[in-house]
Structure 1
Amino acid sequence: MSHRPPPRRSALRMLAGVGAVALGAPACGPDEKDAAAPGPRMGAEWESHARTFMAWPALRSVWGDDLPAVREDIARVARAVAEYEHVVMLAGPGRVAAARKACGSGVEVVPLAVDDLWARDTVPVFVEDGGKVTGVDLNFNGWGDKQEHTRDARVGRTLLAEYGIPRRKAPLVAEGGSLETDGEGTLLVTESSVVNGNRNPGKSRDRIEAELKRTLGIEKAVWLAGVRGQDITDAHVDSLVRFTAPGVVLLDRAHPDTPADVWSRAADQAKGVLSGATDAKGRRFEVVGLPQPDLARITGGGDDFVSTYINFYVANGAVFMPRFGDRRADSRARSILREHFPGRDVVPVRIDTIASGGGGIHCATHDQPGRPVG
């Protein structure tokens, strides 16, 4: 994974039992589809988007005095993405006006209660099913009851009802950041974030894999070890390795001056697995390193700071990457992303406060596939 020090806002987020939801996934209700229904396909992020969802952070208990600064970061990302596609910002009813003022007229702000900014994990993942988009609710439980999530646990059901999108309740607990696909049936996933008693107690990897295949239309899952208990996500794959095309992945690599740690060892393990694996179509993976910045040259910091470029976001016509302030590393990362996403603008965005909270641009955004709005 990335050079990610201890858990994202760990001391404040260890709120076991506060706003918790059941780890097990309840049976489908009358407004939900059977998760075993045939035919779903989870598309790749570089396919056409209808819109991007984001969330306006509300928890001062998590962000403390950094809450105004992280809202500035979120507004900056929203404005940047809105230059390329429709952005919907979810904000609690009492925070809509402030969010609109910060984000500007180019961002739609929708009154929908949220706790925090991590839309990648709280918004459902989307699959194409029978020619229509269906939202798969992954039963968000605060990354294993590590953070208050009373409102965020309801985002999936509420959002899909708001947009009239059919809802399918997954038979497991996971987050969008734990799932990376090429759109052709291959899934990359870390064991640490899914085969974990804080999400799926008593479930084996084989059972979880079968449920992911059935629910998301996956043909082959490539499992990476990840890292347990060192960050709030238990090492999501979207800060470790990302597809840029079928058969091609970018892998997080530590800066040469950064001492080896659990994250660099996890990246080495992932490289070893990927170098010997094939995807759902039988292709061997091309693995390309995406080096991190020099931590002595970045403008941000903090115990939870995530300094990886891997947590980029692919939108219609653009790729959004963090600008960390190490000019040489920022430029190198931008060049690598340009090479792998020809025809798209590569847009650096400053996100120092988001990164200090243990996440990145991908963590803060969630794409809905389909024809662009407007």
Structure 2
Amino acid sequence: MLAGIGATALGASACGPDEGEEDGGEDAADRTPRTGAEWESHARTFMSWPALDSVWGEDLRRVREDVARVARAVAEYEHVVMMAGPEQLAAARKACGRGVEVVPLPVDDLWARDTVPVFVEDGGKVTGVDLNFNGWGGKQEHTRDARVGRALLAEYGIPRREAPLTAEGGSLETDGEGTLLVTESSVVNDNRNPWKSRDRIEAELKRTLGIRKVVWLAGVRGQDITDAHVDSLVRFTAPGVVLLDTAHPDTPADVWSRAADQARAVLSEATDAGGRPFQVVDLPQPDLSRITGEGDDFVSTYANFYVANDSVFMPRFGDRRADSRARSILREHFPGRDVVPVRIDAIAAGGGGIHCATHDQPGRPAG
């Protein structure tokens, strides 16, 4: 998610210099976890039913329609679990239809990518790494979302490990082979990880997620609620291959285009965990004069796509030429998968995209 709407400050990260111990028993330090790639098999997709009137106001109805539309689309390809507060169950079930499982688990907003734990393979089992969600560095109050990780893992009987740092799922992009892309602005930041240097955070990411190499991108501080998550900037499509968000030629240069230029420069000189140079492929944005959505916080990147079983879900912004071009690029890089455009103007106006609203659990597809 990029831009923010409304804010009630939270405290800074609860992890001090020596906090953030792992759960999991005495042999936890001896295990080597693995974080898979999004294109690997999913057991299910988790989503959240938005409930914050204080954030969405009169747009809440429209954003719920978008969330339900995404859920129904993904449910054509894999099992979707929609978390909703008890008072919202009936509305969520009616909107999502019978193909989506709606479970009574209290949430604040739709950003499941950031509130649901990151799943790793650990000791032959899937473990949820709880990233200590704190409202993107205290920019919004998300009391229920802060508890989603522990509650969801308990509901599904998945072991939990608490990360020794604070971050969000949208700030981490991996190839499944030990390479991690991260924007420094969203993690090496006192609003998440006070007292921690980049080197220390890198070591903790490697140990906790089984990462062998971290490639740091600068990002942008303070311009949006996430401090520039990587999942709206650059995404893996295969080990060594990334799609980079690229501004439309008619869009004036701004902090976001400069962040993309910086990312391109870093990736052109870097190698991944396997020693491969990166192939950087442009993923151009739509023409803002042709899109159907609007708003100062509108996120017009195609990079915030979601890879599900046999499928890829991308936003449909209404610029037919750009939508078609993005779909062709995704088809080329995900051969054999259906590339499904979904209209999400209300979600995008709120600062996010399809990837922000979904979170995959690895494993065999749920029956």
TM > 0.5? yes
2:277 counterpart SS class: coil
**Cα distance change, pair 29–228 in 1 and its aligned pair in 2 (3 A):** closer
Matched pairs, number: 366
**Cα distance change, pair 221–21 in 1 and its aligned pair in 2 (3 A):** closer
Given the alignment of the two structures, is residue 338 of structure 1 paired with residue 334 of structure 2, yes or no? no
Q: Cα distance, 1:49 vs. partner?
A: 0.1
Given the alignment of the two structures, is residue 45 of structure 1 paired with residue 38 of structure 2, yes or no? yes
CA distance in 2 between counterparts of 1:30 and 1:122 reads 19
Pick from 51, 60, 66: which aligns with 2:59?
66
In the other structure, the counterpart of 1:253 is: 246
**Cα distance change, pair 202–347 in 1 and its aligned pair in 2 (3 A):** same
The amino acid across from 1:41 in the alignment is R
CA distance in 1 between counterparts of 2:299 and 2:30 reads 38
**Cα distance change, pair 29–310 in 1 and its aligned pair in 2 (3 A):** closer
CA distance in 1 between counterparts of 2:58 and 2:328 reads 35
In the other structure, the counterpart of 1:271 is: 264
Pick from 323, 328, 331: which aligns with 2:321?
328
**Structure 1 residue runs without a partner (length 5+):** none
Given the alignment of the two structures, is residue 225 of structure 1 paired with residue 218 of structure 2, yes or no? yes
**What does residue range 136-151 of structure 1 map to in structure 2 within 5 Å?**
136-151=129-144
In the other structure, the counterpart of 1:350 is: 343
CA distance in 2 between counterparts of 1:30 and 1:40 reads 13
Query: Do 1:300 and 1:352's aligned partners in 2 also have CA atoms closer than 8 Å?
Result: yes
CA distance in 1 between counterparts of 2:191 and 2:350 reads 21
The list of structure 1 runs, each at least 4 consecutive aligned residues, that deviate by more than 3 angstroms after superposition, is 23-37
CA distance in 2 between counterparts of 1:200 and 1:212 reads 13
**What does residue range 151-166 of structure 1 map to in structure 2 within 5 Å?**
151-166=144-159
Query: Do 1:50 and 1:371's aligned partners in 2 also have CA atoms closer than 8 Å?
Result: yes
Deviation readout 1:94-150 (Å, 9 max, x if unpaired): 101110000000000000000000000000000001111000000000000101110
In the other structure, the counterpart of 2:230 is: 237
Query: Do 1:135 and 1:166's aligned partners in 2 also have CA atoms closer than 8 Å?
Result: yes
In the other structure, the counterpart of 2:94 is: 101
Identical pairs, percent: 83
**What does residue range 276-295 of structure 1 map to in structure 2 within 5 Å?**
276-295=269-288
CA distance in 1 between counterparts of 2:171 and 2:83 reads 22
Query: Do 1:35 and 1:168's aligned partners in 2 also have CA atoms closer than 8 Å?
Result: no
In the other structure, the counterpart of 1:124 is: 117
In the other structure, the counterpart of 2:70 is: 77
Pick from 14, 18, 32: which aligns with 1:22?
14
CA distance in 1 between counterparts of 2:30 and 2:56 reads 41
Q: Cα distance, 1:17 vs. partner?
A: 3.0
1:198 counterpart SS class: coil
Instruction: Tell me how large the CA RMSD over aligned residues is.
Output: 1.6
Q: Cα distance, 1:22 vs. partner?
A: 2.5
Q: Cα distance, 1:28 vs. partner?
A: 4.6
The amino acid across from 1:213 in the alignment is K
Query: Do 1:32 and 1:167's aligned partners in 2 also have CA atoms closer than 8 Å?
Result: no
2:83 counterpart SS class: strand
2:136 counterpart SS class: helix
The amino acid across from 2:284 in the alignment is P
Q: Cα distance, 1:36 vs. partner?
A: 3.6
**Structure 2 residue runs without a partner (length 5+):** none
Deviation readout 1:130-178 (Å, 9 max, x if unpaired): 1110000000000001011100000000000000000000000000000
In the other structure, the counterpart of 1:8 is: 4
CA distance in 2 between counterparts of 1:26 and 1:83 reads 42
TM-score by length of 2: 0.97
Q: Cα distance, 1:299 vs. partner?
A: 0.2
2:353 counterpart SS class: coil
2:181 counterpart SS class: strand
Q: Cα distance, 1:35 vs. partner?
A: 6.4
21-30 vs 224-233, which moves further = 21-30
Query: Do 1:44 and 1:183's aligned partners in 2 also have CA atoms closer than 8 Å?
Result: yes
**What does residue range 358-373 of structure 1 map to in structure 2 within 5 Å?**
358-373=351-366
TM-score by length of 1: 0.95
Query: Do 2:10 and 2:134's aligned partners in 1 also have CA atoms closer than 8 Å?
Result: no
Deviation readout 1:62-100 (Å, 9 max, x if unpaired): 000000000000000000000000000000011011100
Q: Cα distance, 1:31 vs. partner?
A: 6.9
Given the alignment of the two structures, is residue 168 of structure 1 paired with residue 161 of structure 2, yes or no? yes
CA distance in 2 between counterparts of 1:334 and 1:33 reads 48
Given the alignment of the two structures, is residue 179 of structure 1 paired with residue 172 of structure 2, yes or no? yes
